[in-house]
Amino acid sequence: MAEKLKVLFLCTGNACRSQMAEGWARHLKGDCIEPYSAGVKPAGLSRRAVAVMAEAGVDISQHYAKHVNDLRDIPFDYVVTVCDHAHETCPLFPGATRVVHVGFDDPPQLAANTRTEREAMDCYRRIRDEIRTFVDGLPGNLEARDGD
């Protein structure tokens, strides 16, 4: 059996997008990917992200925000930056680690302009579904973006 790809999903706060990506990767691609998530400035796990993932049948309630340095001893095959800030401030990784950028809109920022909780949750649902589509195409999506 081939060794699983070690993939780190990196965001600013590791509160939402990177957590959803890790959850989807575990759920959809656990047979070929060993997913992780972290942030460059970790914040608490988003309750809305937990809720929309639970709606989709993926439990991320036990996840917690981690700093990228907490995972420095893991030899990642890929680091996927899921927000522009993380992409711009992504630390250097040793060895053959490849960094690819797949930017997704920021659900908390989108939700800030809504009038109701339902509208706010719809922002999170949209990003959740976009992340699922990306993750569902792994590992091919990584190879196609390598070098971007």
Query: Could you count the other beta carbons within 10 Å of the beta carbon of residue 97?
Result: 15
Residue type, 122: D
Catalytic residue among 16, 32, 90, 123: 90
Distances (CA, A) of 100 to 82, 87, 115, 125: 9, 8, 35, 23
Is 90 considered catalytic here?
yes
The helix or strand, by DSSP H or E, that contains position 79, with its residue range, turns out to be strand 78-81
Q: Is 32 annotated as catalytic? A: no
Q: Is 9 helix (H, G, I), strand (E, B) or coil?
A: strand
Q: Which residue of the set 16, 32, 83, 123 is catalytic?
A: 83
Residue 123: active-site member? no
Which letter does DSSP use for residue 45 in this model? P
Q: Which of 11, 16, 32, 123 is catalytic?
A: 11
- Kindly report the backbone phi and psi dihedral angles of residue 80, in degrees, each rounded to the nearest multiple of 5, phi listed first: -110, 110
Cβ-contact 46, 63 below 8 angstroms: no
Residues taking part in catalysis: 11, 83, 90
